[in-house]
Protein backbone atom coordinates (compact mmCIF):
# COMPACT_ATOMS: atom_id res chain seq x y z
CA UNK A 1 0.00 0.00 0.00
CA UNK A 2 1.36 3.40 -0.92
CA UNK A 3 1.44 6.30 1.52
CA UNK A 4 -1.21 8.04 -0.59
CA UNK A 5 -3.55 5.02 -0.39
CA UNK A 6 -2.96 4.79 3.35
CA UNK A 7 -3.89 8.46 3.78
CA UNK A 8 -7.03 7.94 1.67
CA UNK A 9 -8.09 5.04 3.90
CA UNK A 10 -7.45 7.14 7.01
CA UNK A 11 -9.57 9.97 5.58
CA UNK A 12 -12.39 7.49 4.91
CA UNK A 13 -12.01 6.20 8.48
CA UNK A 14 -12.89 9.67 9.80
CA UNK A 15 -16.51 8.72 9.04
CA UNK A 16 -16.28 5.33 10.77
CA UNK A 17 -19.34 4.59 12.91
CA UNK A 18 -17.13 3.76 15.91
CA UNK A 19 -15.95 7.10 17.35
CA UNK A 20 -12.70 5.62 18.66
CA UNK A 21 -11.73 4.45 15.15
CA UNK A 22 -12.46 7.89 13.71
CA UNK A 23 -10.50 9.60 16.50
CA UNK A 24 -7.52 7.29 15.95
CA UNK A 25 -7.58 8.02 12.22
CA UNK A 26 -7.63 11.76 12.97
CA UNK A 27 -4.62 11.47 15.28
CA UNK A 28 -2.64 9.50 12.70
CA UNK A 29 -3.52 12.02 9.99
CA UNK A 30 -2.34 14.81 12.26
CA UNK A 31 1.00 13.09 12.65
CA UNK A 32 1.30 12.46 8.90
CA UNK A 33 -0.11 15.88 7.81
CA UNK A 34 -1.31 15.00 4.30
CA UNK A 35 -2.71 18.17 2.70
CA UNK A 36 -5.81 16.35 1.44
CA UNK A 37 -6.85 15.58 5.04
CA UNK A 38 -7.11 19.21 6.09
CA UNK A 39 -10.69 19.84 4.93
CA UNK A 40 -12.02 16.53 6.32
CA UNK A 41 -10.33 17.25 9.66
CA UNK A 42 -11.79 20.76 9.74
CA UNK A 43 -15.25 19.22 9.16
CA UNK A 44 -14.68 16.57 11.82
CA UNK A 45 -13.62 19.24 14.32
CA UNK A 46 -17.24 20.43 14.24
CA UNK A 47 -18.67 16.99 14.97
CA UNK A 48 -21.39 16.65 17.58
CA UNK A 49 -19.38 13.70 18.94
CA UNK A 50 -16.86 15.12 21.42
CA UNK A 51 -14.31 12.33 20.91
CA UNK A 52 -14.23 12.98 17.15
CA UNK A 53 -14.17 16.77 17.47
CA UNK A 54 -11.42 16.80 20.09
CA UNK A 55 -9.21 14.38 18.13
CA UNK A 56 -9.67 16.49 15.00
CA UNK A 57 -8.71 19.68 16.85
CA UNK A 58 -5.58 17.98 18.15
CA UNK A 59 -4.74 16.75 14.64
CA UNK A 60 -5.28 20.21 13.17
CA UNK A 61 -2.61 21.55 15.52
CA UNK A 62 -0.04 19.93 13.23
CA UNK A 63 -1.12 21.97 10.21
CA UNK A 64 0.18 25.43 9.39
CA UNK A 65 -2.83 26.96 7.65
CA UNK A 66 -4.88 30.11 8.34
CA UNK A 67 -8.10 28.05 8.30
CA UNK A 68 -6.73 26.03 11.21
CA UNK A 69 -5.96 29.20 13.16
CA UNK A 70 -9.49 30.44 12.51
CA UNK A 71 -11.03 27.12 13.56
CA UNK A 72 -8.94 26.97 16.74
CA UNK A 73 -9.96 30.52 17.63
CA UNK A 74 -13.60 29.61 17.00
CA UNK A 75 -13.28 26.50 19.22
CA UNK A 76 -11.58 28.60 21.92
CA UNK A 77 -14.59 30.90 22.05
CA UNK A 78 -17.56 28.74 21.09
CA UNK A 79 -16.59 25.11 21.70
CA UNK A 80 -17.46 22.81 24.54
CA UNK A 81 -15.45 23.28 27.73
CA UNK A 82 -13.01 20.56 26.63
CA UNK A 83 -12.73 21.96 23.08
CA UNK A 84 -12.06 25.43 24.50
CA UNK A 85 -9.30 24.02 26.70
CA UNK A 86 -7.72 22.08 23.81
CA UNK A 87 -7.84 25.13 21.54
CA UNK A 88 -6.29 27.37 24.23
CA UNK A 89 -3.37 24.96 24.72
CA UNK A 90 -2.77 24.62 20.98
CA UNK A 91 -2.99 28.36 20.37
CA UNK A 92 -0.55 29.06 23.21
CA UNK A 93 1.87 26.51 21.77
CA UNK A 94 1.59 28.05 18.31
CA UNK A 95 2.13 31.55 19.72
CA UNK A 96 5.21 30.40 21.65
CA UNK A 97 6.69 28.94 18.44
CA UNK A 98 6.30 32.26 16.62
CA UNK A 99 8.06 34.14 19.44
CA UNK A 100 11.18 31.92 19.45
Planar angle of CA 94, 95, 99, nearest 5 degrees? 120
- Our count of domains for the chain comes to 1
Residue 43: domain span: 3-98
The CATH number covering residue 37 comes to: 1.25.10.10
CA distance 41 to 96: 24
In order of 2, 34, 45, the CA distances from 55 in angstroms are: 24, 16, 8
Helices and strands (DSSP H and E) totals, the chain: 6, 0
Tell me the pLDDT tens digit for each residue of 17-48.
Answer: 999 999 999 999 999 999 999 999 999 999 99
Specify the pTM: 0.93
Amino acid sequence: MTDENFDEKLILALDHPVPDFAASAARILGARRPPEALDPLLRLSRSEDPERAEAALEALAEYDDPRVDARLEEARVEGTARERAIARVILRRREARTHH
